[in-house]
Amino acid sequence: MDWLSNPIVQGAIAGAIAAASVDLSAFRAWKRWNDILSYDWRVATFRWFQGAVLGALGVAGVGAVLGG
């Protein structure tokens, strides 16, 4: 699991987690199993993907500025 030490991968993971935290309040409001089915997973997973991409790009950009 050497790839986990890559700062870009770490940034992507951090970004995805930050984006997923937006959905945490929705998850806490669920009262029954059917709430899982009615949740708009397409929007949520797209938001998580965007967070991962922005996190990776942010780390890559910071590395380029600090390293260059």
pTM of the model: 0.78
- The span from the first CA to the last CA of the chain, in angstroms, equals 28
Cα separations (Å) of 34 from 26, 27, 46, 48, 57? 13, 12, 21, 22, 36
Question: Domain residues for 28?
Answer: 15-67
**Does 10 fall in a domain?**
no
**Does 4 fall in a domain?**
no
**Does 20 fall in a domain?**
yes
Question: According to the model, what pLDDT value does residue 66 have?
Answer: 67
**Does 1 fall in a domain?**
no
Instruction: Indicate the number of domains in the chain.
Output: 1
- Tell me what percent of the residues of the chain surpass a pLDDT of 70: 91
Q: What is the pLDDT of residues 24-48, one digit of tens each?
A: 988 899 999 999 999 999 999 999 9
**Does 5 fall in a domain?**
no
Instruction: Judge whether residue 22 has pLDDT over 70.
Output: yes
Tell me the pLDDT of the chain averaged across its residues.
89
